[in-house]
Amino acid sequence: MRILATDIGFGYTKATDGRMSQIFKSIVGEANPGQFAEAVLPSQVATPRHFVIDGADVFVGELAESQSRGRSFTLDPAQFIQNYARTLGLAAIAPYAEHGDPIRLVTGLPVSFYRKHKDALTTQLQNRHAITIVQANGEREERTLYIEKVRVIPQPFGSLFNLMLNEAGKAVQQRFVTEKIGVIDIGFRTADFAVADKTRYSERGSLSTDSGMSVAFNAIAGALHEKSGTQIELYRLYEAVTRGTIKIRGQRFDVTTLVQQAFQQLAARIAVEVNRLWADDWDIDCIVLTGGGSATLEPFLKPLLQGDVLAMPVDQDARLNNVTGYLKYGHHIWSA
């Protein structure tokens, strides 16, 4: 029995088995095997990104972005669960799963989508799945992924479990067990707010809003469209936001000011939402900032929050906080 975890996000999909982890963009595209084999260096394809799932040849992640003629990406929750989650989830855990061996899988959903979509996501994943892993040289490996059990939890609790538990799933940080903790999880599609009072989930203090990083990316894309006349797909802005520049049809644009303004406005929006939501939770002991957007927004957001803010360690990739916590929780419930 293998315990695995995957965080199937709107922006990035993550997976880990405790020894290795991977992150790729949540993009699915039509496979173009001939071009792939000729164009990509072996060093670039250590982790498979080409699969056959349900008879369809697909690329995922950056390979789909760069090589697929038809590629898909969505921020709509229902479409994402129905059309993308299974493919992305299977692609994410495939490198860590042996043929036919039972897998117990932990994953998560944003707070406001949890009740509505957790059963559908469980049904999508909890089954036997026949897939083919295609290497860059064309070699194919038929594999059955047998996911015997799936546990779906509210997404922000992944980061809380990551802080609370060790790799064996045992509680080691007592403050997160005995205190009242607020979690702000900034993803690409949503910002999730959750309160755990001595590990008990607070319905009143938990909510998802549409204030994910895509709000800032949409603002940047809109400004670039006005300047260049070109509509930039949101997933193609990740590198530009990091670099501070983007080249469009031969012309280089400095996006530093656009990025700063967009991040400031998004941080202000999130602060208003969370301060209002937690107005009656004045006894929160500390606030945890997590999620892929947290490291980026922390300098703008932290001064606006009411309470003791605990940022995640800077030497860790914040995008992996939830999925690492999912895995620890899996060991907590299944490795007794």
- Our separate counts of H helices and E strands in the chain read 12, 17
CA distance 43 to 202: 46
One digit per residue, the tens of pLDDT, for the chain of length 336 reads: 999 999 999 999 999 999 999 999 999 999 976 554 444 444 444 688 999 998 889 999 999 998 888 888 888 999 999 999 999 999 999 999 999 999 999 999 999 899 999 999 999 999 999 999 998 778 899 999 999 999 999 999 999 999 999 999 999 988 899 999 999 999 999 999 999 999 898 888 999 999 999 999 999 999 999 999 999 999 899 999 999 999 999 999 999 999 999 999 999 999 999 999 999 999 999 999 999 899 899 999 999 999 999 866 777 788 999 999 999 999 999 986
- For residue 33, the model assigns a pLDDT of 62
Q: Are 90 and 53 in contact (CB under 8 A)?
A: yes
Q: Which long-range contacts (CB under 8 A, 24 or more apart) does 308-314 make?
A: 310/286, 312/159, 312/288
Which residues on adjacent β-strands are paired with residue 202?
A: 195
Q: Are 43 and 123 in contact (CB under 8 A)?
A: no
- For residue 294, the model assigns a pLDDT of 92
- For residue 71, the model assigns a pLDDT of 87
CB burial of residue 253 (10 Å; 0-12, 13-18, 19+): middle
Phi, psi of 300 (to 5 degrees): -85, -35
Listed residue (168, 170, 171, 126) closest to 18, CA to CA: 168
> 């036919």: which residue's tokens?
100
- For residue 192, the model assigns a pLDDT of 95
Write b or e for each residue in 68-102: b if 16 or more Cβ atoms lie within 10 A of its Cβ, otherwise e. beebbbbbebeebbeebbbbbbbbbbbebbeeeee
Q: What is the pTM of this model?
A: 0.90
**Alpha carbon of 129 to those of 50, 140, 179, 301: distances in Å?**
16, 16, 41, 42
Torsion of CA 285, 272, 162, 172, to 10 degrees: 0
Listed residue (61, 11, 52) closest to 33, CA to CA: 52
| Angle between the N-to-C axes of helices 256-277 and 294-301, in degrees from 0 to 180, rounded to the nearest 10 | 80
